[in-house]
Structures are given as C-alpha cells and as structure tokens.
Amino acid sequence: MTKKNIVLFSALVGTITFFLLIFSSEIGLCPRNIGTCSQSYDATATNFFLFLPILFFSLITYKLREETFRAWLHFAYWWVPLSMFLTLITPESRGGGFGPQISWGKEDTAFVFSGLFAIISLILIIYKSIKLRGK
C-alpha cells in the first residue's frame, strides 16, 4: 500500500466508521428510545477506535522517508489485527458476581492497545528517522 492509500483508508473507512457508530443515535441510525441498538453500535465502534491513531501516524509518516514509512507500516500490519482480535474476545462488561473481580472491558482493551500502538509507533518512527539520517 502507498502512503496516500493508508491515509485515505484510515480516514475514510476507519475513522468515519468509528464516528458513525459512536453517534448512531444522534445521526438517526438507531431510534433514540432503543438503547440496545446504540449499545451494539458502541460495542462495534470500539474495534474501530484504533483507526484514530493510525490516521494520526499515517499523516506523520506521509512526509518522512519511504524506509521509515515501510517500517511503521510493517509494524501496523500485524498490530492492528491483533488489537482488534483481542478487543473482540474481551468480555463486554467489567467484573461482577462473586470471586476475583476482573475490572477490564472492551473499551479498556481498545484504549490500552491504541495507546500502546501510539507509543510504539512514535518510538519506531523516531528510531528509524535517526538511524536513516546517520547513513
């Protein structure tokens, strides 16, 4: 994929889908009085939350050297599906019942993996840029 395609894909598909799902009631995808409809859209939106940092870093790498972009893209190719899979298999709600409480839900998983993606991406981009400058 090219830099331009990554920016367009993350902006159009991922980010727009995320916001459409989050604001499903407000834009009329779900009737306001049916909570289960908007809740299911909100749960689906957590899987698309990762496209916000992808858009941000694809814009950063757009002006960088091709080698830096390729290194970041290689990382994103395996990180994004892994994050989405882990978000999908995480339980909907946090803890409950008796016994040890696990206070972790889909939103937490999506937020943590998006944050890790951002941190690792930034480190990778800086490292590759510095390394390539030395050549």
pLDDT in tens, 116-133: 999 999 999 999 989 888
pLDDT > 90 fraction of the chain, expressed in percent and rounded = 13
Range of the domain at 31: 3-133
* Overall number of domains in the chain: 1
Residue 98 has pLDDT above 60, yes or no: no
Cβ–Cβ under 8 Å, residues 57 and 118 = yes
pLDDT, average across residues 16-33 = 74
Please report the pLDDT score of residue 103 as a whole number: 66
Q: Is 78 left (phi over 0), alpha (psi -120 to 50) or beta?
A: alpha
**How high does pLDDT run on average in the chain?**
79
